[in-house]
């Protein structure tokens, strides 16, 4: 089966209903925890709905959307053109597992619904890349469904995990303990685990040590 991404609006934009539902709860978590100014890198911007919503609500921040998938890059470009916001940069291609990212430094990183629709190898690469570009104390926000302590937090998450693995055996709902352990290896620390609607969570991680170190 093809993994569903939403509705084609016919002007280059895709609209995912889940993004419409979760954008305000995620924004409520981001707003008090992001720096007042600076560059926010969004990894895996998907349709582009989130980045324009966040940028409109937080105009003092500059937002850099990224994506690897060509159709989604076009959707992000279309959402940015439609919104015409001065604080959103043009999207760039970012392959998380590449040793070189197109962004050398960011004041914060936001990553929504990526780690469960990627192979596990993406997780250490994502964390190491964020450790390279974040300054000490810089936050990384990881939103999505997570297991905790080896257990799913709801029957619906267990069903979703089975669906993900049926689509691609490398995908799946990740455990917060596994993510925290990988993060520590590269100098990132989970400082908050925030419960969200629909059995999702936001993991807030912060960088230890100077920018550019991964130990």
The whole model's pTM is what?
0.93
- Whether the Cβ atoms of residue 212 and residue 131 lie closer than 8 Å to each other: no
Which residues, 6 or more positions from 141, have their beta carbon under 8 angstroms from its beta carbon? 26, 29, 30, 33, 108, 109, 110, 111, 112, 202, 203, 204, 205
pLDDT one-digit tens code per residue, 158-215: 999 999 999 999 999 999 999 999 999 999 999 999 999 999 999 999 998 755 444 3
How far is it, in rounded angstroms, from Cα 31 to Cα 137?
Answer: 16
**What pLDDT score does 210 carry?**
55
**What pLDDT score does 142 carry?**
98
- Quick one: average pLDDT of 147-167? 94
Quick one: CATH architecture of 7-207?
A: 3-Layer(aba) Sandwich (3.40)
- Asked whether the predicted pLDDT for residue 102 surpasses 50, the reply is yes
**What pLDDT score does 12 carry?**
86
The first and second tokens of residue 83, run together, are: 């919104």
Q: What is the DSSP letter of 148?
A: B
**What pLDDT score does 7 carry?**
82
How far is it, in rounded angstroms, from Cα 173 to Cα 181?
Answer: 16
**What pLDDT score does 215 carry?**
38
Least confident of 7-11, 93-97, 152-156, 197-201: 7-11
Q: Please report, for the chain, the start and end positions of each structural domain, with discontinuous segments joined by +.
A: 7-207
- Asked whether the predicted pLDDT for residue 111 surpasses 50, the reply is yes
pLDDT one-digit tens code per residue, 26-77: 999 999 999 999 999 999 999 999 999 999 999 999 999 999 988 899 999 9
């Amino acid at each position: 089966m093809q993994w569903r991404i939403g509705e084609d609006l016919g002007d280059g934009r895709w609209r995912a209903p889940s993004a419409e539902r979760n954008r305000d709860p995620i924004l409520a978590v981001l707003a008090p925890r992001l720096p007042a100014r600076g560059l926010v890198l969004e990894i895996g911007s998907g349709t582009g709905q989130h980045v324009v919503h966040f940028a409109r609500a937080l105009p003092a921040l500059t937002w850099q959307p990224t994506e690897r998938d060509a159709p989604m890059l076009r959707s992000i470009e279309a959402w940015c053109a439609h919104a015409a916001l001065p604080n959103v940069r043009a999207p760039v291609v970012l392959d998380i597992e590449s040793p070189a990212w197109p962004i050398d430094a960011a004041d914060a990183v936001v990553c929504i619904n990526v780690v469960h629709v990627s192979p596990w190898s993406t997780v250490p690469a994502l964390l190491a890349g964020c450790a390279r570009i974040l300054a000490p104390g810089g936050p990384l926000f990881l939103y999505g469904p997570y297991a905790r302590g080896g257990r799913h937090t709801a029957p619906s998450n267990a069903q979703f995990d089975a669906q993900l693995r049926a689509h691609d055996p490398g995908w799946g709902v990740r455990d917060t303990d596994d993510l925290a352990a990988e993060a520590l290896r590269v100098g990132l620390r989970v400082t908050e685990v925030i419960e969200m609607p629909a059995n999702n969570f936001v993991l807030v991680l912060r960088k230890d040590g100077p920018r550019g170190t991964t130990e």
